[in-house]
Amino acid sequence: MFGSGPGKKTRKNTFPYEVAIPSYKRHEAINEKTLATLKRYGIPASKITVFVANKDEEALYKQSLKPGTYGKIVVGVKGMHDIRNFITGYYKVGTKIVNIDDDIKGFLEYDEANKRKERPLKSLIGVIKRGFAECEKAKTKLWGVYPVANGYFMKPKVSTDIRYIIGSFWGCINPGLKGSDGVKITTEYKEDYQRSILYYKRWGAVVRLNMYAPISAYYTEPGGMQEVKERKELEEKGARWLVKTYPEFAVLNASKKSGYMEVKLKDLRDSKKED
């Protein structure tokens, strides 16, 4: 117990946030990647919850995860958009949640002085605090980072217009699933694009810290979404669904090197009014 009497220091209020890691069939890889990364950056294990698909997965994770690297394991549901909604419903409305994938190897930050314009991130808690502070400033509830870990493309600025907030690392002030402020994801593929659109549509801004980026192999890491066959076709189906469902915010972009059909986010409402 902490007291305020002579010779005792009062405990400072720590920054309130929770870390949610949805994980599927990566009970070994998560140890070397995300959990090791969070430990390296000094994120308290007590804040970290790993969400798994079912009881069988829970047993595997309990056997594999290293004690002291996480707070608890919670059995959720299978499927990316379903587990995202489960996580939203799990925490109280208003909770500051940092969502991170299970295959994150590290982070980069923009560095003008470096030849490659990048360096390993110094402070992850600094990024988290800034993300939520910028949300308060912009009066929105979603923040993220630059989607590509490459200093040549990263920029030392914060944007609040509609931008893609990549699903591998993002934060939100939990809006819940219900009511006028609720955000519920309905697509399994490109779910992070839908989330970006829904938050922007509701609050008129999403925060992106373009000077930071996570390091991950989005389309190549075994487990997770890679367990689904014919992913490329399903990703394209998801992209076309987004553009059809949100024509005022999304256009198709097939020029990406990944070979996957991608989406570019734009606020086209003003231009359509002019037309």
Domain extent, residue 225, equals: 18-274
Is residue 7 domain-resident? no
Where is average pLDDT lowest: 3-17, 64-78, 174-188?
A: 3-17
Is residue 252 domain-resident? yes
Is residue 4 domain-resident? no
Identify the CA nearest to 47 among candidates 38, 59, 37: 38
Burial of 172 (0-12, 13-18, 19+ CB in 10 A): buried
Identify the CA nearest to 199 among candidates 231, 225, 221, 171: 171
pLDDT tens digits for range 109-160: 999 999 999 999 999 999 999 999 999 999 999 999 999 999 999 999 999 9
As given in the structure block, the two tokens for residue 235 are 């990703």
Q: Looking at residue 95, which CATH number applies to its domain?
A: 3.90.550.10
Is residue 219 domain-resident? yes
Is residue 1 domain-resident? no
pLDDT at 274 over 80: no
pLDDT at 6 over 80: no
pLDDT tens digits for range 203-228: 999 999 999 999 986 545 555 444 55
> What was the pLDDT predicted at 204?
98
Q: In the structure, what pLDDT confidence band is assigned to residue 255 with cuts at 50, 70 and 90?
A: low
As given in the structure block, the two tokens for residue 162 are 């509609």
Is residue 236 domain-resident? yes
Number of structural domains (the chain) is 1
Q: In the structure, what pLDDT confidence band is assigned to residue 169 with cuts at 50, 70 and 90?
A: very high
Is residue 12 domain-resident? no
Range list of H helices, the chain: 29-30, 36-40, 55-64, 80-90, 124-138, 191-203, 231-245, 269-274
Is residue 92 domain-resident? yes
> What was the pLDDT predicted at 138?
99
